[in-house]
Amino acid sequence: MQEFTLELHEIKIMTTLLFITGNSNKLKEIASLLPSFITLKSLKDIGFMEEIEENEDTIEGNSMLKVLAVKNIYKGMCFAEDTGLEIEALAGEPGVRSARYAGEGKCNQDNINLVLSKMKGILNRNAQFKTVLTFFDGEKNIQFEGLCKGSILEVQRGDYGFGYDSIFIPNGSTLSFAEMDLPQKNVFSHRKKAFSSFIDYFQKTKISDFSL
């Protein structure tokens, strides 16, 4: 249900978007990025328990795939994101395979260990996180990109975050992502950049342009 309020002669829509994820860490991080007029539902909230196989060759493709897998079931506005760590010295790896770099069924620590092993003795530590968000507005899909450039640490640092956060330090910081709380991380975050573009689009688009 949508609730309309009139503020300063502008109509704002209070709405709920489905975030296509089963990852509670991502849900918490994304919720911290959204303005007050948007609240989130997750796949768990709509009873979607199927595993979406992420088998595309690009981050853009995986982000789109998630939306295509759910939008006809949910029949409302929804979005998905896919994120990859791209390391210059490893020719862009782990990239689209970031979540399963060490193999299917492996954990985050296995992925981190593999990266650190491959990067041992390499001087070029340049890397970037890339996020691609796909938004389905009821009729069409729109994609937004966010990048965070930084470098790979030689050892893990920090206890916050998830994924590769403990071995990635963004340019302009002395802390790894895993040493930052969410407000600190959002200053640099690739997800923050992608979602800022998305929210800017969402706010500037007329309500009548959406199929609600």
| Residues labelled as active-site residues | 82
Cβ atoms within 10 Å, residue 92: 15
Three-state SS string across the chain, please? Answer: CCEEEEECCEEEEEEEEEECCCCHHHHHHHHCCCCCCEEEECCHHHCCCCCCCCCCCCHHHHHHHHHHHHHHHHCCCEEEEEEEEEEHHHCCCEHHHHHHCCCCCCCHHHHHHHHHHHCCCCCCCEEEEEEEEEEECCCCEEEEEEEEEEEECCCCCCCCCCCCHHHEEECCCCCCHHHCCHHHHHHHCHHHHHHHHHHHHHHHCCHHHCCC
